[in-house]
Amino acid sequence: MTDPGFDRLRTRGGTTSRAAPLRVDPQGRQSLYSVSGQPPAPGALTISCSSCRERSVVTPRQLVLLALPSLHLPFVRRGHPSWMRCPACDRRTWVKVVLTL
């Protein structure tokens, strides 16, 4: 008489407590970390490189050094309008400079 009742309670509790955290956790955290590996500080300059796909955070002084010489064609090159040295792959290539506020 009491056996079937216990069986039902066990299977129910086991499945719900296992399934819930597995679904919610990994996706939420992974998407957070992949978008911003290291969140740049306010006022930081980020260089997105078109050839190595790397994002480098530089100081305004570093940017001036990297941008000598440089070209800026915002109307011709929409994705990466600036031609200058990339600090990640050390090549002169098309990059996008973003100022984080």
Q: Catalog residues that contact Zn ion under the rule CB under 5 A.
A: 49, 52, 86, 88-89
Closest distance between Zn ion and the C-beta of residue 93, in Å? Answer: 6
Closest distance between Zn ion and the C-beta of residue 60, in Å? Answer: 19
Measured from the CB atom, the residue of 44 and 93 that comes closer to Zn ion is: 93
Measured from the CB atom, the residue of 44 and 52 that comes closer to Zn ion is: 52
Closest distance between Zn ion and the C-beta of residue 80, in Å? Answer: 10
Measured from the CB atom, the residue of 45 and 86 that comes closer to Zn ion is: 86
CB burial of 1-15 (b: ≥16 within 10 Å; e: otherwise) equals eeeeeeeeeeeeeee
